[in-house]
A and B are shown apart, each in its own frame.
Chain A
């Protein structure tokens, strides 16, 4: 049972436009969410996080939106740059849970120059 889902395995966006990556979760106990970026041959790199007490968190070109009622979060990258081309993973955790983070299967973003 995949508790964190990234239904789009890939996404292509023109340079300068907005990239929107989506993530859905099923466990209502999740209260902390993160996005990681992964380049080939490297480990995932932390991008941005959001706690369930917020519905938006912004860091430079990256903004994460959380819709608790829909159990949905999204990562917006504006403007997209070729260097953003990577695989993006969302992850979720529950403060009261016995596990660490549950990761989605990833979305490969390609930013076209």
Chain B
């Protein structure tokens, strides 16, 4: 089975621009979560989608949004980029929604905001 894929792998943007990141979960997985990883902060939970509905949301400003499609693929959008948005953005999928479901991560998209 193919793993979680994320595109693009690397991205450079300037302040004020917007960006869209894409995630394709493992086939059959219906839950997709997004995380931001920055040095010293670990993985910060952004949001989770299940069956095209946002089920959980972390403490990030409204500039961060996402959506999930009927094939479980998910996109994350960040508008009005700030320098502090530079980070590794990780997507994880799991079979179903549940607090004891193991999440499988993609390789991440590294975003650099100049």
Asked whether B41 lies within 8 Å of A98 as measured between CB atoms, the reply is no
Asked whether B56 lies within 8 Å of A99 as measured between CB atoms, the reply is yes
Asked whether B102 lies within 8 Å of A95 as measured between CB atoms, the reply is no
B25 within 8 A of A: no
Q: Which residue of B40, B48, B58, B105 is within 8 Å of A43 (Cβ)?
A: B105
A32 within 8 A of B: yes
Contacts of A102 in B (CB 8 A): 45
Contacts of A106 in B (CB 8 A): 42
Asked whether A43 lies within 8 Å of B56 as measured between CB atoms, the reply is no
In angstroms, Cα B41 to Cα A49, docked, is 22
In angstroms, Cα B41 to Cα A81, docked, is 27
Q: Point out which of B40, B42, B48, B106 has the most chain A C-beta atoms below 10 A from its C-beta.
A: B42
In angstroms, Cα B92 to Cα A6, docked, is 21
Contacts of A41 in B (CB 8 A): 107
Closest to B43 in A: A103
Asked whether A100 lies within 8 Å of B99 as measured between CB atoms, the reply is yes
Q: Which residue of A45, A100, A103, A105 is within 8 Å of B48 (Cβ)?
A: A100
Contacts of B103 in A (CB 8 A): 46, 100-101
- Knowing A99-B45, A99-B56, A100-B56, say if A105 contacts B102 (CB, 8 Å): no
In angstroms, Cα B6 to Cα A43, docked, is 10
Q: Which residue of A43, A94, A101 is within 8 Å of B106 (Cβ)?
A: A43
Mask, B89-114, CB within 8 Å of A = 1, is 01010000011101111111000000
Q: Which residues of B contact A (CB under 8 A)?
A: 4, 33, 35, 40-45, 48, 56, 58, 90, 92, 98-100, 102-108
- Between A and B, 6 residue pairs with Cβ closer than 8 Å are A6-B42, A43-B108, A93-B100, A100-B45, A103-B42, A106-B42
